Amino acid sequence: MRASKETYRKVAKECSSYEPIGTDRTLNGCSCDASEVSCVTCKHFDKDEYCRLNLYDQIIASRHIEE
């Protein structure tokens, strides 16, 4: 993981584009709880752990979230 679980959770909570992936799909190779709001459970999160919408870095910067 590039960032901690806690960071992904904070970012997803601030993100207006968060879209949970269905529970019928593999969770980006992660065994995290699918009901948890986090980038890890977001449709736009690439398997290489990048936000496809490039929102992750913007949210980190604008909300002063520590990685």
Residues that bind ligand SF4 (CB under 6 A): 11-12, 15, 17-18, 39, 42, 44-45, 51, 53, 55-56, 59
Minimum distance from residue 35 beta carbon to ligand SF4 (Å)? 15
For ligand SF4, the closer CB: 17 or 62: 17
Q: In the 3-class helix/strand/coil scheme, how is 17-52 assigned residue by residue?
A: CCCECCCCCCCCCCCCCCCCCCHHHECCECCCCCEC
Minimum distance from residue 50 beta carbon to ligand SF4 (Å)? 8
Token output for 65: 């979230």
The amino acid occupying position 36 is E
